[in-house]
Homo-oligomer: A and B are copies of this chain.
Amino acid sequence: MSAIGDVARLAGVSKSTASRALSGRGYVSDATRERVVQAAADLGFVVSSAAASLVTGQTRNVGVVIPFINRWFFAEVLDGLESALISSGYYLTLYRLSEDAEQRRRIFDYFLVRKRVDAVIAVGIELTAHEVGQLRSLGKPIVGLGGPTDGIPTINIDDVETTRLATELLINLGHRNIMHLGGDLQEQMDFRVHDQRLTGFRRAMDDAGLSGRDDFLAVPFSIQGGYAGALQVLADPRRCPTAIVAGCDEVAVGVIIAARQLGINIPSQLSVVGIDGHTLAPMFELTTFEQFPARQGSRSVEIILEQLESNDSETPHASKPREMIPVNLVVRSSTSAPPRDS
């Protein structure tokens, strides 16, 4: 377990010179640098990041707080975050936040705060003012992804507007009997997306004078959730919409599977539109609004690194507070005009 002193001795220089040679900071002649690098290689020397961060105050470690990892959106985001961080030479420490408030408090009070991370990326979580204050008072940059936390830079799509557009798309096709299968408002774990998508749906329906009916069903954001919800809705003669706005593509896929099982043809008898750009969307011919979560992840990393690099001047997070990522509509054959006899 060789230390930098050993390297220095072998190369015949001082510790400080060895440090400069290896870290690349400060003046070192080419000849000595070469000798030091060679010595380090011979000894299999690797710097102790603990020692380095003790004096520099930087860990090159970014904490990622995320509520799920086995849902498509979050897994894609995580993927994007990891790639972007690694290729910038940063490490990613993962914290999965459960619903448990006590555990959440522990993570913030106990884990994140220990000078283990240089910055925090919060995915799909609305941070409380206290949590933001805590992090900020330690000078740690924060970026939110998906969550609508105030006062910190945030990356997300415009959930209200996207859902409004999805609904309007169906209305413009001639649909009047449209339902929204969205997320449960209670179970969103400070992740306001469910709220906002419902709001967008309502807005479009109101604008078209179609509101006021029993047109919303809360389902889990998963294929099974969409499947079970769709069975319930499509088999019920009182409801039986001609079109469904799914809260996300997983729900939409579940709806399509349910419809097939019930012998309901898509799109001639039922139109379905989703939001996400899920991997399965092409296979199910799903019309959807793509949101590229991995790209949102790498964009978040860019913003975090920007703040990290410029943090010398200790500028308070002056960047634009919220960055809306444009969504991309892909029309496939899950949407068409409603059946004429309806």
Interface flags, A23-66, vs B, CB<8A=1, else 0: 00000000000000000000000111111011000010100000
Cβ of A249 under 8 Å from chain B: no
Of all chain B residues, the one with the shortest Cβ separation from A47 is: B114
Contact assessment for B49 and A114 in the assembled complex, using a CB-CB cutoff below 8 Å: yes
Contact assessment for B96 and A93 in the assembled complex, using a CB-CB cutoff below 8 Å: no
Interface centre among A50, A54, A76 (most CB of B within 10 A): A50
Query: Which of the four size classes fits the interface of chain A?
Result: 35 or more
Of all chain B residues, the one with the shortest Cβ separation from A139 is: B1
Cβ of A72 under 8 Å from chain B: yes
Binds B, one of A79-87, A201-209, A304-312: A79-87
Cβ of A116 under 8 Å from chain B: yes
A82-B111 in contact given A50-B54, A51-B54 (Cβ < 8 Å): no
Cβ of A69 under 8 Å from chain B: yes
Q: Which residues of B contact A46 (CB under 8 A)?
A: 113-115
Q: Which residues of B contact A103 (CB under 8 A)?
A: 86
Specify which of B53, B75, B96, B260 is in contact with A70 (CB 8 Å cutoff).
Answer: B75
Chain A residues 264-294 with CB under 8 Å of chain B are 279-280, 282-283
Contact assessment for B70 and A72 in the assembled complex, using a CB-CB cutoff below 8 Å: yes
Cβ of A244 under 8 Å from chain B: no
Contact assessment for B76 and A70 in the assembled complex, using a CB-CB cutoff below 8 Å: yes
State how many angstroms separate the Cβ of A78 from the closest Cβ of chain B: 5
Of all chain B residues, the one with the shortest Cβ separation from A224 is: B283
Of all chain B residues, the one with the shortest Cβ separation from A72 is: B70
Cβ of A223 under 8 Å from chain B: yes
CA distance A138 to B46 in the complex (A): 11
A69-B79 in contact given A86-B95, A91-B111 (Cβ < 8 Å): yes
A78-B69 in contact given A224-B283, A283-B223 (Cβ < 8 Å): yes
Chain A residues 233-278 with CB under 8 Å of chain B are 257, 260-261
Q: Which residues of B contact A83 (CB under 8 A)?
A: 96
Q: Which residues of B contact A1 (CB under 8 A)?
A: 138
State how many angstroms separate the Cβ of A138 from the closest Cβ of chain B: 8
CA distance A297 to B42 in the complex (A): 37
Interface flags, A319-339, vs B, CB<8A=1, else 0: 000000000000000000000
Which residues of A are in contact with B by a Cβ distance under 8 Å?
Answer: 1, 46-51, 53-54, 59, 61, 69-70, 72, 75-76, 78-79, 82-83, 86, 91-96, 103, 107, 111, 113-116, 138, 222-224, 227, 257, 260-261, 279-280, 282-283
A-B contact pairs, 21 of them (CB 8 A): A46-B113, A46-B114, A47-B114, A50-B50, A50-B51, A50-B53, A50-B54, A50-B115, A61-B93, A69-B82, A75-B75, A78-B94, A82-B94, A86-B96, A86-B103, A91-B93, A222-B279, A224-B280, A227-B283, A260-B260, A260-B261
- Other contacts beyond A49-B50, A50-B53, A222-B279: 6, CB < 8 A: A46-B113, A70-B279, A91-B93, A93-B93, A224-B283, A257-B257
